[in-house]
Amino acid sequence: MKYTKEHEWLRVEGDLVVVGITEHAATALGDVVFVELPEVETVIAEGDEVVVIESVKAASDILAPLDGEIVEVNQKLVENPALVNEDPIGAAWFFKVRVDDLSVLDEFMDEDEYNDLIG
């Protein structure tokens, strides 16, 4: 698993990258009450706003950590946004993206580096 400075996690599944937010981010947001996900087949570029997430504390945009095409979104989050708080690293993934070259993940932090960031 890789991590971004914006507190997203990235996990490779075959030729796809699964994207979600870290436990640290979920805790900081507080109780999540709404999640808006991108459309499947949306082509995204690094830095694009792709997810809107609202909690009792604030609304936030989740930015695309890399370029690619959205191939699947987690509809369970739309139906039950609280999953973000309950299982941010597991059941609460946001979307799966197909990227041209998985080696772009080498640019992101590993778990130790991320823990140093939030430490």
Sequence spans of domains, the chain: 2-101
pLDDT of residue 58: 86
% pLDDT > 70, the chain:
100
Structure tokens at 22: 């870290």
Bridging pattern class, strands 49-55 and 32-36? antiparallel
* CA angle, 77 then 80 then 86, to 5°: 85
- Is residue 17 within 8 A of residue 68, CB to CB? The reply is yes
Topology classification of domain 2-101: OB fold (Dihydrolipoamide Acetyltransferase, E2P) (2.40.50)
Mean local confidence (pLDDT), 9-18: 96
Give tens-digit pLDDT for 24-36.
Answer: 999 999 999 999 9
